[in-house]
Amino acid sequence: MNEWQKKSPLEWETYLNKLVKVAVIEKHECEGWVLTVDPVSASIVLATFPENESVSISVVLGHAVEEVEILKEGDDEMEQRLSCIFAPEESKAYSP
Amino acid sequence: RGRGFESRRRHPARGEAEAQRARARLRRRFLRALAAARGRPARFWLRAGVRVDATFGAADREAAALLVEALRTPLGLQEAALLRGPDVLCFRFPLP
């Protein structure tokens, strides 16, 4: 188990809504805004905005994470934008 | 599995409740991300520099295996296949 997988849910939560650079094994690298970290597999879900309207989601599997570096804190606007990415499904699923 | 599930030593009850809430929030977002990925064209980066394209299907509980459809391989198109989680470094898919 790597250092990243050993972190606690409260530690993973501190990465939410931040722009990070993930060093992945075999010299890969992934950059994006942290949407979540799966507490079971330690996989990181990142969002990038290649064009203004579209969103690209990357999932780095927990076992492949070497290091996560925080590049930038997210402001309120970014936090709102990120929370909306999966929101339509949410409201559909839970509306009475 | 004990991953991320250790109790907090200083304030066991309070710490554990907070950790449990964090774990639930993170996991819920992760499951939404997987639900959003379903049926979308995705690119997978595997070990040893292998990169394949397929339609994302599902992941098991610990992301130990990923079910994909229409996997394009040098030998042709595989209608359905399981990618071993430990072989996958990351995958990416676009959201409209």
Do B62 and B84 reside in the same domain of the chain?
A: yes
| Contacts of residue B85, Cβ cutoff 8 Å, sequence gap at least 6 | A41, A61, A63, B59, B62, B63, B64, B65, B66
Band of residue B29 on the pLDDT scale cut at 50, 70, 90: very high
Do B86 and B55 reside in the same domain of the chain?
A: yes
pLDDT tens digits for range B71-95: 998 889 999 999 999 999 999 999 9
pLDDT higher than threshold 60 for residue B2? no
pLDDT tens digits for range A33-53: 999 999 999 999 999 999 877
B63 and A62 within 8 Å at the Cβ level: the answer is yes
CATH number at residue B59: 2.30.30.100
Q: Where are the beta strands (DSSP E) in chain A?
A: 18-24, 28-37, 44-48, 55-60, 65-73
pLDDT higher than threshold 60 for residue A54? yes
Do B48 and B33 reside in the same domain of the chain?
A: no
Query: Which one, of A85, A87, A78, lies nearest residue A20 by Cα?
Result: A78
Do B22 and B45 reside in the same domain of the chain?
A: no
Band of residue B3 on the pLDDT scale cut at 50, 70, 90: low
Q: What is the pLDDT of residue B13?
A: 76
Band of residue A90 on the pLDDT scale cut at 50, 70, 90: very low
Mean pLDDT, rounded, for A16-25: 98
Task: Work out how many domains chain B is built from and give that number.
Answer: 2
Do B48 and B8 reside in the same domain of the chain?
A: no
Do B4 and B17 reside in the same domain of the chain?
A: yes
Predicted complex ipTM = 0.89
Residue of A nearest to B86 (CA): A63
Q: What is the pLDDT of residue B5?
A: 53
Residue percentage of chain A with pLDDT more than 70:
91
Q: Which domains does chain A have, with CATH numbers?
A: 9-94 (2.30.30.100)
Chain A contact present for B4, CB below 8 A:
yes
pLDDT tens digits for range B43-73: 999 999 999 999 999 999 888 999 999 999 8
Q: What is the pLDDT of residue B6?
A: 53
**A interface toward B at CB cutoff 8 Å?**
1, 5, 7-10, 12-13, 24-26, 28, 30, 35-43, 45, 54-64, 85-86, 89-90
Do B90 and B64 reside in the same domain of the chain?
A: yes
Do B49 and B89 reside in the same domain of the chain?
A: yes
Do B33 and B43 reside in the same domain of the chain?
A: no
CA B74 to chain A, closest CA, distance in angstroms equals 22
Do B32 and B43 reside in the same domain of the chain?
A: no
Q: Please answer whether residues B42 and B56 qualify as being in contact, where contact means their C-beta atoms are separated by less than 8 angstroms.
A: yes
Mean pLDDT, rounded, for B27-36: 95
Q: What is the pLDDT of residue A35?
A: 97
Which domain does B59 fall in, by range? 38-96
Q: At what angle do helices B12-37 and A87-94 cross, to 10 degrees?
A: 100
Q: What is the pLDDT of residue A88?
A: 55
Which of chain A's residues have a Cβ under 8 Å away from the Cβ of B96?
54
What is the helix (H) or strand (E) element at residue B61, kind and residue range? Answer: none
Higher pLDDT, A68 or A95: A68
Do B75 and B28 reside in the same domain of the chain?
A: no
Do B74 and B43 reside in the same domain of the chain?
A: yes
Largest CA distance in chain A: 48
A12 and B30 within 8 Å at the Cβ level: the answer is no
Half-sphere exposure of A3 (CA within 13 A, CB side): 5
